[in-house]
Amino acid sequence: MSDQVLVDVEEQLKIAAGRRAAPFTMVPEWVTVHPDLDPQAKALYDALAAHVNVGRADGKVWPTRLLLAMMLGWSREQSVDPYLRQLSKAGAITIDEDRRADGSLNRRPDGSVKKIYFVHETPPDDYTGPKNLAEFYAQARVKVQELREAKAAKKAAKKAAPASEQPADAPQTPPPAKKAAPARAAKAAQPAAEANAPTAPAAAPKPKPKPPRRGKDKTPEEIRLDQLADEGAHRWWDVEAPKLVAAKKMTSYLGDSQRGFLGVRTLIRQALAAKPNPYQPHQVMEALVLGAQWLPHRTGFERALSKVSGVRAAPSGTQRPRLYRDSQWTEGNPTDPATVPAQPPVPPDDEFAILDDDAR
């Protein structure tokens, strides 16, 4: 044998070495063809049988309902309960409670009672359904033959029926109406003549008053506030908050994102519409970043706004606290350049941009 042939044989062996036999579960045929088991129950039996320890040979398994539901792609552990009852009623499994040596119940850490499932490979003694594929096909042939005979009999009966006879389910034609007596016809025609007589035209009904409109049309200023609130909520929810999460300054949001978005939008709009001195968009965004909460509480949000807008905290002691900077609230002639407060810096193009500390 040449070296080239040896190389070819070695390559063929490498190609042949593909997927190996994986662990598999054997499901008895009587469970597969059981007439009273839903497809979900048969899949659940397969999941239980996969837990059987062949070496222990006792057919006893104890997976949790949650794990069984996860194996079958169900979102709730309660989804397995009706199919466990089906399997138990069919005699495919036996459900028992796990007990210790002293007879007390063995409970899981969450307090639930640990269940033990005995998976049976053979049907119970009182089972009368098909026990294998041969019996299933034998019964299926009988049912198919019965269906064919019933269909042929119905077709023959319909063909043999006389043309004048109508089937029972055919629509019945109404009998011809009887001629009315002359006196009765005249009496019946009198109301009709009165109805056809010309009468004075009825007055046109008055139009119903339109119900008052609920609410009122929004002013341009209100529309502008709504747009700013939407922009600010999107910027916080899509840009600033994820940055804080990535920097480990804020945790991921666990609630309903839609409700959280609307809550932040409401807070932003109220801050922009505050009277008599509305907050600026960049101040609102700075307050949200300072609070570091996806959906801040109103009290915390107002506290953050006070810090951003320059409100001082109340000093300790008995003196009356000074709440505002002298540069913001000054007494005197407002037209005097020395007493006019400094104008805040012009925000960038993005109204909700966050200004640096040296820019404020």
DSSP 265: H
Q: Can you give the C-alpha Rg of the chain in angstroms? A: 42
In one-letter notation, the amino acid at residue 130 is: P
Q: Cα 162 to the chain's mean position, in Å?
A: 59
Q: How many CB atoms lie within 10 A of CB 340?
A: 13
Q: Round to whole Å and give the CA distance between 359 and 353.
A: 12
Strand order in the sheet with 115-119: 60-61, 115-119, 93-97
With a CB cutoff of 8 Å and minimum separation 6, the contacts of 267 are: 296, 298, 301
Q: Round to whole Å and give the CA distance between 263 and 301.
A: 12
Buried b / exposed e over 98-119, threshold 16 CB at 10 Å, is eeeeeeeeeeeeeeeeebebeb
- Parallel, antiparallel or unpaired: strands 93-97 and 115-119: antiparallel
Query: So what's the pLDDT on residue 39?
Result: 92
Query: So what's the pLDDT on residue 210?
Result: 63
With a CB cutoff of 8 Å and minimum separation 6, the contacts of 286 are: 304, 308, 354, 355
Contact in structure between 126 and 146 (CB atoms under 8 Å): no
DSSP bridge partners of 99: 105
Whether the model pTM is above 0.95: no
Instruction: List the structure tokens of 183.
Output: 């006196």
Both ends of the chain: CA-CA distance in Å? 89
The pLDDT tens digits along the chain (360 residues) read 556 655 555 555 455 555 656 677 778 888 898 988 999 999 988 888 888 876 666 677 878 888 888 988 888 888 888 998 988 988 888 888 878 777 777 777 777 777 888 888 889 888 888 888 888 888 888 888 898 999 999 888 888 876 555 555 555 555 555 554 555 655 555 655 555 555 555 565 666 666 655 556 788 888 888 989 999 989 888 888 899 999 998 888 888 888 888 999 999 999 999 888 888 898 899 989 998 888 898 888 888 888 888 876 655 555 565 555 555 554 554 555 555 555 555 556 667 776 555 555
Contact in structure between 286 and 308 (CB atoms under 8 Å): yes
Query: So what's the pLDDT on residue 270?
Result: 92
Report DSSP letters for 174-230, one per residue: PPPPPPPPHHHHHHHHHHHHHHHS--PPPPPPPPPPPPPPSS-PPPHHHHHHHHHHH
